[in-house]
Chains A and B, each alone.
Chain A
Amino acid sequence: MGRGASKALWAIAGVLIIVYTLFPVAWIVSLSFKKGSDVQNQQFFPTEWSWENYKTVLDSGLFTSALRNSIGISLISTVVSVTLATFAAYAIARLEFSGKKLVLSMALAIAMFPTISLVPPLFDLWRTLGLYDTWIGLIIPYMSFTLPLSIWTLSAFFREIPWEMEQAAQVDGATPWQAFRKVIVPLAAPGVFTAAILTFFFAWNDFVFGISLTASDAARPVPAALAFFTGESFFTEPTAAIAAAAVVVTIPVIVLVLLFQRKIVAGLTSGAVKG
């Protein structure tokens, strides 16, 4: 097999991967443009393309409030957990102290935790405390899986930062805290950003807490709202409307992926393989 032929084979394999990844996305996009009874045409493409479903979805209060809830809840969880994790990961990567292992093994244990196990106690507790069906009621459990992820990703990133810079600052008379703020923070920003994207994806994707700990559109996030979406009429299954809603919530994710491809790959692999 010549060099050229082998190159072509790899290229064909690459095309196959792209088909694999984009095919279901193309299908849901195509479905979302089907109008009325065209949904039942049993074909991949609509006979006539129409924006009708998008109008239905965006006019529906349930869906827009779900979008607001999801963005708000995911952003707040991300900011809080990445902030706390940044402090912890800095200490883990840079300082000598006992108990470092404890924090890391705890994060590892929690990362393996089946989220549904938290549902019964939280369901019971939140109803007593009045946190059921509120933003805070979701933000708190989201910490449980976003914190370990952030701590992991960040400590892997922080280990790559050159030690000498910090020591140089300390030799020049900076305290460890100043060395952290003035030297490490700018160097660490890209890692923090990557951890934030991964964390945001996790919170955005959650379904278990979303359906168990909410009851109304006061706090119900997008994945849960999609599963309970009824559309215009209760009598027809709103297949195409669900597809349109799915496309709307997928667009931001695809934009993030396109913009930060390199960072996401680095974050996913550094945390797990080198961690």
Chain B
Amino acid sequence: MTTMERTVPSTVKPRVTDRARHERRLGWYLCAPAFFVMLAVTAYPMLQAVWLSLQSYRITDPQSRRFVWFDNYTMVLSDALWWRDVGVTVLITVITVVVELIIGFAFAMVMHRILFGRGFVRTAILVPYGIITVVSAFAWRFAFAPDSGFVNSWFGLDNYDFFANFWSSLMAISLSEIWKTTPFMSLLLLAGLAQVPEELQEAAKVDGATWWQRLWKVTVPNMKAAIMVALLFRTLDAYRIFDSVFVMTNGAQGTETVSFLAYRQMITRTAVGLGSAVSVLLFLTVVLIAFVFIKLFRTDLSQVRGDR
């Protein structure tokens, strides 16, 4: 996470001076408020969620609240709906992240090389980033809707209803997500591109490497770390997808995602116990994804930290 210019070698134990003690105490004083707020707003509710997930509890029926151990979990995990929602979420995650990586990389290359209008392009790329996800979802929904949309008349599709079947709904949702989050991806990749040494590119060019060879043999290997960070961030973010699904299909045509399932159990059905179980499972899945990423690409992540 952090690289300190002034690191004390651990073998030499320095005498703990008043200054050092003072510094340590100040460090804790300064970190304590943020630390405890973070603990209070996430760790505590998460423990509460685990506790709630072990109970059969609906807000509309508080009398029958009781402790059921892992019944909620077995109920969720043995239900085909949960696995279907996991499948849909994974599908959306894979589609959006892969497409974003490709488009984002192309955008980063353009922003890296373009001379004329560079500032303008870099400003424009921030517009989707700043726009509320719900607004993006509405824009794309209205564009595809058979009554208000222009897509059908542009492509001569007559009265085709994009939101009437699974694959076209999924495509619309993914498009909205991709449009909104590619800029973030491309900015992270642009920062990575800037770290690729220009001399290497020149040397490869002198040696007669084609553009394609230079891309795969010089550019990509040298910005592997940035690519990994961008992938990790976007994968975790994409896996939590909720806003676009809510606005565009409200879970219809089998487009319900895991986050949406948790929301529906909790808010629509007020099934606190079951909703909490889904939330805990979602949390564990995210931890698993993060763990796999970090284990697989450990060296790369430490490179990012070490290169300053």
Q: Using CB atoms and an 8 Å cutoff, list the residues of chain A in contact with chain B.
A: 7, 10-11, 13-14, 17-18, 20-22, 24-25, 27-28, 31, 39-40, 42-44, 84-85, 87-88, 90-93, 95-101, 103-108, 110, 112-125, 127, 140-141, 143-144, 147-148, 151, 155, 159, 163, 176-177, 201, 204-205, 207-208, 211-212, 222-223, 226-227, 239, 242-243, 246, 249-250, 253-254, 256-258, 261, 264-265, 268-270, 272-275
A103 / chain B contacts, CB cutoff of 8 Å: 31, 34-35
Are B139 and A104 in touch, CB under 8 angstroms? no
Mark the stretch among B77-85, B91-99, B196-204, B273-281 that contacts chain A: B273-281
Check A268 against B184 for contact (C-beta < 8 Å). Answer: yes
Tell me whether B64 is interfacial, beta carbon within 8 Å.
Answer: no
CA distance A239 to B138 in the complex (A): 9
B240 lies within 8 A of A115 (CB): yes
Q: Are B31 and A92 in contact (CB under 8 A)?
A: yes
* Residue of A103, A116, A270 ringed by the most chain B CB atoms within 10 A: A116
CA–CA, A98 to B28, complex, Å?
9
Main secondary structure on A side of the interface with B: helix
Residue of B6, B118, B148 contacting most chain A CB atoms (<10 Å): B148
Known: A10-B110, A120-B275, A207-B246. A95 touches B27 (CB 8 A): yes
A24 touches B20 (CB 8 A): no
B126 to A176, Cβ gap below 8 A? no
Chain A residue nearest to B188 (CB atoms) is: A272
Within 8 Å by CB of B267, from A108, A141, A212, A249, lies A212
Contact A269/B191 with A22-B127, A97-B27, A256-B130 known, Cβ cut-off 8 Å: yes
* Contact assessment for A106 and B283 in the assembled complex, using a CB-CB cutoff below 8 Å: no
Would A110 and B179 count as touching, CB distance under 8 A? no
B42 touches A265 (CB 8 A): no
Are B27 and A91 within 8 A (Cβ)? yes
* B117: A residues at CB distance < 8 A: 11, 14
Nearest CB in chain B: distance from A202 CB, A = 11
- Let me know if A264 and B35 touch, CB within 8 A: no
Whether B121 lies near A17 (C-beta < 8 A) is yes
Do A21 and B183 form a contact, CB below 8 Å, given A119-B266, A246-B138, A250-B131? Answer: yes
Given A21-B128, A43-B153, A117-B282, CB of A159 within 8 Å of CB of B188: no
Given A28-B142, A114-B283, answer yes or no on A119-B263 (Cβ-Cβ < 8 Å): yes
- Could you tell me the distance between the alpha carbons of A95 and B6 in the complex, rounded to whole angstroms? 10
Q: Contacts of A269 on B, CB cut-off 8 Å? A: 187-188, 190-191
Q: Which residues of B contact A24 (CB under 8 A)?
A: 128, 136, 139-140, 143, 179
Is the C-beta of B216 less than 8 angstroms from some C-beta in chain A? no
Binding site for A on B (CB under 8 A): 1-6, 8, 20, 22-24, 26-28, 30-31, 33-35, 37-39, 41-42, 45-46, 48-49, 52-53, 59, 106-107, 110-111, 113-136, 138-140, 142-143, 145, 147-150, 152-154, 179, 183-184, 187-188, 190-192, 225-226, 229-230, 233, 236, 239-240, 242-243, 246-247, 259, 262-263, 266-267, 272, 275-276, 279-280, 282-283, 286-287, 290, 304-305, 308
- List 8 additional contacts besides A27-B139, A100-B27, A239-B148; criterion CB under 8 Å: A11-B116, A17-B107, A24-B136, A96-B23, A106-B38, A124-B48, A163-B5, A268-B184
Establish whether residues A204 and B49, one from each chain, have CB atoms under 8 Å apart when the complex forms: no
Identify the 7 closest CB pairs spanning chains A and B, nearest first: A97-B27, A269-B191, A121-B48, A91-B30, A88-B34, A121-B45, A253-B130
List 30 A-B residue pairs with CB atoms under 8 Å apart, sorted by A's residue number: A10-B115, A14-B121, A25-B139, A40-B147, A42-B147, A87-B33, A88-B30, A88-B35, A96-B6, A104-B1, A114-B279, A116-B263, A116-B282, A117-B279, A118-B41, A120-B53, A121-B52, A124-B48, A125-B45, A144-B42, A201-B129, A204-B132, A226-B138, A239-B145, A246-B132, A249-B135, A261-B123, A269-B187, A273-B191, A273-B226
Q: Which of chain A's residues have a CB closer than 8 A to the CB of B267?
A: 119, 123, 211-212
Taking a contact as CB atoms under 8 Å apart, the answer to whether A141 and B41 are in contact is yes
| Pair B41/A143 contact, Cβ less than 8 Å | yes
Q: Which residues of A contact B46 (CB under 8 A)?
A: 117-118, 121
Give the complex CA separation of A22 and B52 in angstroms. Answer: 45
A125 touches B48 (CB 8 A): yes
Could you say which of A18, A28, A44, A88 contacts B120, with CB atoms under 8 Å apart?
A18
Q: Which residue from B131, B190, B236, B263 sits with its C-beta under 8 Å from A208?
A: B263
CB distance B143 to A108 under 8 Å? Answer: no
Interchain CA distance A201-B121 in the complex, whole Å: 20
Complex contacts, A40 vs chain B, CB 8 Å: 147-148
